Amino acid sequence: MATLGAGTLFPQAAIGRTASAGNPDVVVVGAGAAGISAARELRKRGLSVTVIEADNRTGGRVFTDTSVFGVPYDTGAHWLHYREANPFVDYGLENGFDMYRAPDDERFHVGDRAATTEELQAFQAAKAAAVQAISEAGRQNRDVSPADVVPDLGDWSLTVNLHEGAYEMAKDFDRFSCADWYTGEDGTDWYCREGFGALFAHSARDVAVELNTRAETIRWGGQGVEIDTNRGSLRARAVLITVSMGVLASNEIRFDPPLPDKKQEAVNVLTMGHYHHIALHLKDNFFGVGEDGYFGYRITEDSDSAPAGFVALVNAGGHGITYCDIGGEFAREMSAGGVSDMHDFVISDLKKAFGSSVEKAVIKSHTFDWTRHRLTQGAYASAEPGGAWSRAELRRPEADRLWFAGEATSIDDWATVAGAHKSGLAAAAQIVETI
């Protein structure tokens, strides 16, 4: 897939600084990456567009906070995945952002010591065996879970499940489809030192959005569509819905008539995973690795068979912030206990590795809970076993009036901001061709 030039995707001239008055051609629900790219493309092609966003800001799950730690802190998306086809990297380079490739420095522990060479080799061999088994099932289009095909990995089972499941997919090995997983592209990861959210906000500044405007009911049974919001109603020829699968599944938005059974089934099997940054501001170079290095350790405890552990991105961007990330069912369970439970768990496991010096090294901590956030209700979506067909179903419009876009509908960049962006462009092209 060729990388698209940033000049084409993100024009510097403002497009429609004020929202369309009256009845627009298209209403876009949600001002994340998919909604912003779709609105820009639709307006570029001559259609009138109103973008509504329930939150008080744009960006959705990509947001850089500077108030908590006084430095850039990505509460959600942080990695710019698959640089080879990620237009945000080019945009950042062309607009003065500090963009750089993700380093590979890593520290790995077994208990309270650094792992031996033999232990590291055993861990890498176990990961390779798991990935090979999942890949082979995916190549054969077997819509089964990794738990059905990954061999017994012995002492490394929980650790591999964390790294290749919960940390990568926000789900454990029994909760996602090998066939769906296999459709994802892989490539080089990059970072933006100012924060991915800051980069995205800069790229989206030309698109007018009606903030604090929540879609409540979408009526699509007659001519055109009518969208009831907390601030009144809108009529349009079509609506593009870019909210998360968590919001769709929760019925926060009511459809009249209800969505067809097949579409509802797709929403119910394309479920949100769970993933949280427990961010720690630490003194000095606590982990002994460079900027944007990693800390991991062998997992020996589980919670209802889900690995109970985390992987840490150390000193992200050189700002002194370490993201200790938990995922999967363990993250969902910890969410129920609140952010204090997540913090306490991370500190407890760090003390097992480094002793009581951890508590003296922590200056401040913060956790943003996407699972309990009403406007997301999870991290990102993937198909449950047996549900690999669901993304294609979600991309299909209903009655030439109802379209869906977002990372969950991406063909091969799902779970990424770039994938959401490109899904918005694709949906916009379809809408233009249709209406």
405 in a domain, yes or no?
yes
The number of domains in the chain is 2
pLDDT at 272: 98
Q: Are strands 293-297 and 311-316 parallel, antiparallel or unpaired?
A: antiparallel
> What does the alpha-carbon distance between residue 175 and residue 302 come to, in Å, rounded to a whole number?
16
Distance CA 210, CA 203 (A): 17
Cα separation, 38 vs 49, whole angstroms: 10
Indicate whether 90 belongs to any domain: no
Reported as half-sphere exposure (CB side, CA atoms, 13 A), residue 65 has a value of: 16
Both tokens assigned to 259: 């969505």
Is residue 2 included in any domain, yes or no?
Answer: no
Residues 112 and 260 occupy one common structural domain = no
CATH number of the structural domain spanning residue 243: 3.50.50.60
DSSP category for residue 236 = E
pLDDT at 338: 92
pLDDT at 4: 31
User: Quick check: is 37 in a domain?
Assistant: yes
DSSP code, position 60: T
* Residue 62 β-bridge partners: none
pLDDT at 40: 98
User: For 114-131, what is each residue's pLDDT tens digit?
Assistant: 999 999 999 999 999 999
Residues 292 and 344 in one domain: yes
Strand partners, 227: 218, 234
- List, for residues 360-399, the tens digit of each pLDDT value: 999 999 999 999 999 999 999 999 999 999 999 999 999 9
Q: What is the pLDDT of residue 290?
A: 87
pLDDT at 5: 31
Each residue of 371-407: b (16+ CB within 10 Å) or e?
A: bebebbbbbbbbbbbebbbbbebbbeeeeebbbbbbb
Contacts of residue 61, defined as CB under 8 A and 6 or more positions apart, other chains included, come to 32, 76, 77, 244, 370, 376, 379, 380, 417
Residue 308 lies in domain = 103-128+152-176+275-367
Q: Do both 407 and 259 map to the same domain?
A: yes
Whether residue 64 lies inside any domain: the answer is no
The DSSP bridge pattern shows strands 215-219 and 254-256 to be parallel
Residue stretches of the chain with pLDDT short of 70: 1-22
Q: Are residues 258 and 287 in the same domain?
A: no
pLDDT score of 15: 35
